[in-house]
Amino acid sequence: MEFEVNRTEKIRGVVNAPPSKSYTHRAFLIASLAEGFSKIKYPLYSDDTMATLDSSLAMGVDITAESEECLIYGSGGNLKTPDDVLDVRNSGTTLRFFSSAASLAPGYTVLTGDQSIRTRPMQDLMESLEKLGVSIRSTKNNGKAPIIVNGGLMGGNTSIRGNVSSQFISSILITAPYADKPVDLEIQGKFISKPYVDITLDVMKEFGVEVETNNANQFHIEPQVYKGKEYTVEGDYSSASYLIAAAASLNSDLTIKNLNLESKQGDKFILDIVKQMGCDVNLKENQVNIQGQGELHGIDVNLGNTPDLLPTVAALGAMADGTTHIYGAEHARLKETDRIHTCALELSKLGVIVKENPDGLTIEGEAKGGVVKSHHDHRLVMALYLIGLKVGGVKIEDASVYQISFPNFIEVMDELSK
């Protein structure tokens, strides 16, 4: 699917933020592991989160997905061995989370996904799980999917590097309560994307599991059981970042509802970023109002804790006066694509002067129209779409992948830019 984005003069309206992808993934899995019944209200049904839901189904969890809620009859940690390979499609979160959860099922579970997923690093997680008594192997012995997990989670002491993926840490934490004995997890070195681990701990606590932490880098989990409950998924700052950035770069008056101003989501940092670039941001209870004048200036910004914002901020930099310098985000190279490289490559096709650095990008504004590729990365599609709204004439090839995280993105943007 290819589409051309036409220039628009303004963004106006009131819209609900999409439900959080991060919170939905965690709620689906934790409710699946819980004892008893859970009602997950206002979850995000997207390609990625459905990969998690379908994996739970394949492991014997009874699930009824309705439009505004998902009813999950938990397994109490007693997952079943799947009848077939678990296909996580393009969801790295699902692959990482279920590599640990599969240890709770007897027999062998095989996890794989699409071509992109089979390039994602898994070795650190595998080695950490092995220290907890999990038998886990890469079929090609390259530390990547397909992954084979043999049931059994003893517990004990383990460690993991903190500078590869916070999903590894969340994966271990979520499954740890069902180990035979307590789990002690130590994070070694730099701890990147910590807000995502804070989200994990938040959802675990909501479902009745306590995690002791002596300091930011050590976690102790006693054997426990999650308890089913009614749980409401909050709005997603990652997806809302595209709405916020569109409003910031154009003449706008946009109100986004269902955004928790006290959220643990690191990506609420987008509000500070657009404010620094010259946009008016007004906060009220659970809603954000953006007043844009269509004039932004470049800034220096550290995305060490918020690598998913890199495409959004790169697009803003391409529409701003002066220089935008993004740094601290070397782990953005390990996402659906090497996002530092693909952002640099595609922005250059739009006439942007961009320098690719080891940990980020240096961008000079003045984007114009052109033909770009998605690299099958949902965040790159939505970021490039923003530039199209500003300058017009941007054609995006293989654009339909935005549905991975924001299924009605095009409809929402069309409505706001009428």
314-363 pLDDT tens trace: 999 999 999 999 999 998 998 888 999 999 999 999 999 999 999 999 99
d(CA 46, CA 24): 10
d(CA 142, CA 146): 10
Express each pLDDT in 289-323 by its tens digit.
Answer: 999 999 999 999 999 999 999 999 999 999 999 99
Phi, psi of 302 (to 5 degrees): -95, 115
At residue 387, the pLDDT reads: 97
Dump the DSSP string for 123-141. Answer: HHHHHHHHTTT-EEEETTS
Which is higher by pLDDT, 418 or 156? 156
Read off the pLDDT band of 404 (50, 70, 90).
confident
d(CA 290, CA 158): 45
Tell me the C-alpha to C-alpha distance, in Å, between residue 235 and each of 11, 117, 144, 265: 20, 26, 32, 10
**Spatial CB neighbours of 414, under 8 Å, sequence gap ≥ 6:** none
Whole-model pTM above 0.85? yes
Q: Is the pLDDT of residue 173 over 90?
A: yes
Catalytic residue among 87, 124, 236, 308: 308
**3-18+235-416: CATH topology:** UDP-n-acetylglucosamine1-carboxyvinyl-transferase; Chain (3.65.10)
Q: Is the pLDDT of residue 244 over 80?
A: yes
Q: Is the pLDDT of residue 214 over 90?
A: no
Contact 293, 257 (CB under 8 A): no
At residue 1, the pLDDT reads: 77
Amino acid at 253: D
d(CA 179, CA 159): 16
Tell me the C-alpha to C-alpha distance, in Å, between residue 43 and each of 20, 115, 284: 7, 27, 23
Q: Is the pLDDT of residue 216 over 80?
A: no
Mean pLDDT of 408-417: 94
At residue 125, the pLDDT reads: 98
Q: Say how far residue 197 (Cα) sits from the centre of its chain.
A: 12
Phi, psi of 315 (to 5 degrees): -65, -40
Contact 378, 342 (CB under 8 A): no
Which token pair is 398? 């293989």
Q: What is the DSSP letter of 337?
A: S
Report which of 194, 200, 270 is spatially closest to residue 238, judged by C-alpha positions: 270
At residue 335, the pLDDT reads: 83
Q: Does the active-site annotation cover 84?
A: no
Same topology between domain 3-18+235-416 and domain 21-210: yes
Q: Say how far residue 152 (Cα) sits from the centre of its chain.
A: 28
d(CA 181, CA 224): 10
SS3 12: strand
Q: Is the pLDDT of residue 257 over 90?
A: yes
Q: What is the DSSP letter of 225?
A: -
Burial class (CB in 10 A: 0-12, 13-18, 19+), 342: buried
User: How do the domains of the chain map onto residue ranges?
Assistant: 3-18+235-416, 21-210
Which token pair is 300? 């220096």
**21-210: CATH topology:** UDP-n-acetylglucosamine1-carboxyvinyl-transferase; Chain (3.65.10)
d(CA 23, CA 200): 8
Q: How many CB atoms lie within 10 A of CB 262?
A: 7
